[in-house]
Amino acid sequence: MVEIQVRGVLPTSNGCAVFVGNEEKTFVIYVDHSVGAAITMFLHGTPKERPLTHDLIGHIFAGLGVRVERVVINDLKNSTYFARLILRMENELGKKILEIDARPSDCIALAVQQKSPIFCVAKVFDVVEDMSEVLRRMSEQDSEEGSTGKEEDDE
């Protein structure tokens, strides 16, 4: 397995592009807008007026003594990613590990929320297209647009 991180979240016409990867390679998982917004808020520690769905799940996990141990992106079929959410519960009754099939978008949101590691199996990581350059160019473009807008505000 290869450890990866969220490297960027950018809006698209149909939702959001979540760029995940490491120094070697970055790839994109497309998610709906609400999950993309949640991932962005967790990344930036943005306060919310009311708990969102992933906040609710996180509160339930905390109340039950459950922690997201890790997320594994474990398959890619017909341009659809699959993931497993690995949960760990430890209490006075003992220790339990639970592995759940879940959408990668929800897994990533929960992992970012709980600061848990994200992994990708090698067979998937090896076949995905490297989008590192695309992310770099888009980030530079956002920076340039942001600085241009800022300069106009200062005038």
Tell me the C-alpha distance between 81 and 87, whole Å.
20
Give the start-to-end residue ranges of the domains of the chain: 2-154
Sequence-separated (6 or more) residues with CB below 8 Å from residue 58 = 110, 113, 114
Residue 24's SS3 state is coil
For the chain, 155 residues long, give each residue's pLDDT as a single digit of tens: 999 999 999 988 899 999 999 999 999 999 999 999 999 999 999 988 888 899 999 999 998 899 999 999 999 999 999 999 999 998 787 899 999 999 999 999 999 999 999 999 999 999 999 988 888 887 776 666 655 554 444 44
Superfamily of domain 2-154: Bifunctional nuclease domain (3.10.690.10)
In this structure, which long-range contacts are made by residues 79-82, counting pairs with CB atoms below 8 Å and at least 24 apart in sequence?
81/29, 81/124
